[in-house]
Amino acid sequence: MPDEDRKRAAHRALVDRLLHGDGKASAQDRARAFHNNGLTPPLDALIAKVADSPTQVSAADLAAAKASGRTEDQLFELVVCAAVGRSTRLYEAGLTALAEAMLKEGPGNAT
């Protein structure tokens, strides 16, 4: 397997496990956390911070999510999904931009 494929394969294995394996949180909620979309308050605020402004996450955000009935194991899973989801979007955005840049640089496509 080419080296780069090994990196992507290892990343995909992580994503597949988070989204499709067993969990204490439902697969639907794990997918919502991964995509930072569709969760209800107060969990939506915590997950949005993990994805978009992680240094702003506070103990109070986690406490509010727990007070709404989520267990610590569920929060562990959903925070992990949010973090990996955001970094997956960055990885894919970078690879897409690279592929397009290479197309434009290719022979016969010089601008």
Q: Using the rule CB under 8 A, which residue among 20, 37, 67, 100 binds another protein? A: 100
**Residues in contact with another protein, shown as a per-residue x/- string from 17 to 56 under the rule CB under 8 A:** xx--x-x----------------------x--xxx--xx-
For CA atoms 27, 19, 82, 59, give the dihedral sign: positive
76 binds another protein (CB under 8 A): yes
Least separation in angstroms between residue 38's CB and another protein is 19
Q: 40-52 burial string, b = 16+ CB within 10 Å, else e?
A: eebbbebbbbbbe
Q: Using the rule CB under 8 A, which residue among 32, 104, 107, 110 binds another protein? A: 104
For CA atoms 16, 22, 35, 53, give the dihedral sign: negative
Least separation in angstroms between residue 40's CB and another protein is 19
Do 29 and 19 touch, CB atoms closer than 8 A? no
